[in-house]
Structure 1
Amino acid sequence: ETFAPARKLAFIQCVGSRDFRFYPFCSGYCCMHSIKEAIIANEHEPETTSTIFGMDIRAVGKGFEEYKIRGGNNSGITYVRGRVAEITEGPNHNPVVIYEDTKERKVKAEEFEMVILATACAPSKGIVDLSRIVGFELDDYQFVKTSSLSPVDTTTPGIFVCGCAESPMDVPESVAQASSAAERAAEIAFQEDLEKEKAVA
């Protein structure tokens, strides 16, 4: 049996995040990731349309707002400011999204062919055990604890962190932080070599 490609998509943002019952923080990269996936879907199948449901779209990086607008203008994306309450099954076995449109202050329902959930960026399940073994501390959300002045330094000297182990972040930010962590490690190695040279001299 073959399946036709889904051409009417719904992306639901903040599933489990910005919610005090689960994770109260914003995961940061989900909005732009959903927009990118919706644009790619439209590129593969030009008849594809996407609706992105969210409390707001957080396009905070350089050029991100323009990218969001371009997606709406050229890639069949509709942005709906609202809160999804429930997903049910329609008469054609398609998902039906029931949501509150917070702009119009109305409860609405719309049928889609596929629903994609943008879930929270949760800490790794093994991070608690790793922190006990290595000895660094975790923050209130179980990410590796750092300070604003030393964002790659853990509470254990000589151990550095980067990427989503420290906090939710996208790929470019993770790469930049990884470079910083590598530089900090190299700095310590250089200091140790310098001390050895002094001892020999």
Structure 2
Amino acid sequence: GGNAAVSDNAAVAGIHGTVADLIQVNEGFEIAMDVVLGSALQHIVIENEASARKAIEWLKSSSRGRATFLPLDLIEERGRGAAFAKNELDRFGAVPAVTVVQTDAHYSKVIGFLLGNTLVAPDLSQAVAVARNYHKSVRVVTMAGDLVNPGGSMTGGSRERRGAGLIERKKDLEDLRAKLASLEQEDRESETQLRQASSNRD
């Protein structure tokens, strides 16, 4: 689609990457963040609105589809971000979503824009309780990926058919890379021991 076309095009200036490329999610929160960020994981972080306009014009002129851009000079943080009262959240076992996503300080505004009005709760009953506490003005996601949306609508159910989300797949890939590096290290150590044993016999 448009996202891949823009990301791969060196002629489009000012691109920093997709949201998924620029964030790390704390362990255990992958499902919640996959659900709550959804298609926004593919949004393209770009230097400024002028670059975004040029990229959109390029997509139009080359018929390469559509993409959503997050210009760093235009987007603003929404909601309270990390400033929710801790003693209130502790009653529900909830945390601000912005605190479970790590990124370079340069992109903190992106996280505030996407997640500043979002809380993470342990389960659906706690999510409903925290939503009521904030007069249904916040979005609350559970660890299992169920949602209580601003205004009070609820979204949830089985996720099996969709399979793992982008953040989960990214985490699996990182785990596999770490395991591979560990196996390669063990392999090198075994080879060294074999060489030493062989030279000792000589």
TM-score by length of 2: 0.33
More helix by share: 2
TM-score by length of 1: 0.33
